[in-house]
Amino acid sequence: MKTTDHIPVGKVRRAGKILPTGLKVGKNYLKHYGEKIVNPSLDRETLDESNASDIIKGLQELKGGGLKVAQMLSMEENLLPKAYVEQFSLAQFSVPPLSGPLVRRTFRKHLQHSPDEIFDTFDYKAKFAASIGQVHEAWLDGHRYAVKIQYPGVADSIQSDLALLKPMAGRILRMNMKDAQQYFDEVEDKLLEETDYVLELDQSQELTAHGRTHSDLVFPNYYPELSSSRILTMDWIEGIHLPEFMAATPTQSTCNRLAQDLWDFYMYQIHVLRKVHADPHPGNLLVTPDSRLALIDFGCIKSIPEDFYGPYFTLQDPAVRKDQSLLEQSLLELEILKEDDDPEEAAYFINLFGEILDQFLLPFESESFDFSDSSYFAKLSEMGEKLSRQTLKYRYNPNRGSRHFIYMNRTFFGLYHLMHQLKAEIKVDAGILATSS
């Protein structure tokens, strides 16, 4: 893959890359609506494909917050049109890595030495390249390390990048930007945290300490003396990603065991620690040669406030969802219902979210749940499409819910999909019961 010798830094230079992308998207819309005058039956599929392609090309060159948001959105199959999901998903595996000279300059700036002066061996060819940083293999005194290097300028450009991307994102997601501001505020806060490798080092050491005590998962050790605000060094863990592991047709009992270990640790994080690794996707997991799951990235940690935790998990009780007054109270506390909703609008959202929650929380209504059932995920997708379609039809404001929903829902949807990838049947209450023992 072609490497990157230079990443634009500074508001003006980055704006010079983002704004042309916005202009391309605008031209795509003008072309689409011009053709629609001639052919009223024309759908948005071609428009979506053109926009998605142009946006990803621009963001891959810039890297950073915009590309991270695109990768996040690729997991939201119910939120984006299919063309965006496909293009944004591919972006996770096609980011041009930094060139060797740029890696050396980054090391000298943040650790005062080149990689060759610190390690016995350092592979300048990145093993993995993502939105915010890339990972290299290194050796020192016979020990193998994974060294994560943040792309230059990413941390300083998060706020300006998102400000420039908001209008484009609002058009794609059909969001009222005033109402969606808390969404972007939450994303901005978490992205700023993800670029702080000192914070990630602390969070990683804390959660891995709990993980080793309360799970059979594998975690790397971290090395503060070989790390900085933009470089993070940890153990290299030998393993393969989930798709490769599943391609080898492991036994179902092995898949169920791996899934159970992961599920239990997530329930422990949520219900005991009140904080959670909010980025559960295949890129952050490895399966080791002895068939254990390894968690290798703790950059995105979400703290769960008590005033959100209470009403959010109260809704897991079917009796609460069946009681109209209790359901309404929880939805008000979670800001899904608004005090100024008229009675018709409130009734609409109570009924619609009641249906969505019944489907979303179905795994918690029995002792065990089979996540291999594709019909369950098809139904989830159908409910998401119904929310998007009907709110537009009735001209209701779909931008609802506490800012904390963004990462908690991302956590559960990501976890569900990992369970589905493993085609696993798990004991749903096992992790919760373990936390109270």
Consecutive 10-residue runs of the chain (437 residues): their mean pLDDT? Answer: 54 47 45 43 55 58 56 54 56 67 94 97 89 90 96 77 66 60 75 89 94 93 96 96 93 97 95 92 91 92 94 92 92 89 86 88 93 90 69 57 84 92 89 43
The predicted structure's pLDDT at residue 218: 96
* Cβ contact 66:18 at 8 Å: yes
The CB-side HSE value for 74 (13 A sphere, CA atoms) comes to 19
Helix (H) / strand (E) element for 427: namely strand 425-427
The predicted structure's pLDDT at residue 177: 60
Angle between helices 154-173 and 181-194 (to 10 degrees): 150
Please tell me the pTM assigned to this model. 0.79
The predicted structure's pLDDT at residue 51: 60
**DSSP codes, 87-129:** HHHHHTT-PPPBPHHHHHHHHHHHHSS-HHHH-SEE--S-SEE
SS3 state of residue 302: strand
Helix (H) / strand (E) element for 368: namely strand 368-370
Amino acid at 44: R
Cα-only R_g, the chain = 23
Q: What are phi and psi of 300, to 5 degrees?
A: -115, 95
Q: Which residues contact 116 (CB under 8 A, 6 or more apart)?
A: 122
The predicted structure's pLDDT at residue 59: 59
Q: 400: how many CB neighbours lie within 10 A of its CB?
A: 19
The predicted structure's pLDDT at residue 131: 73
Tokens of 408: 């908690």
The predicted structure's pLDDT at residue 120: 98
The predicted structure's pLDDT at residue 38: 40
The predicted structure's pLDDT at residue 37: 46
The predicted structure's pLDDT at residue 99: 84
The predicted structure's pLDDT at residue 96: 67
The predicted structure's pLDDT at residue 58: 57
User: How far, in Å, CA of 421 to CA of 413, rounded?
Assistant: 12
The predicted structure's pLDDT at residue 81: 56
The structure tokens 């591919």 sit at: 90
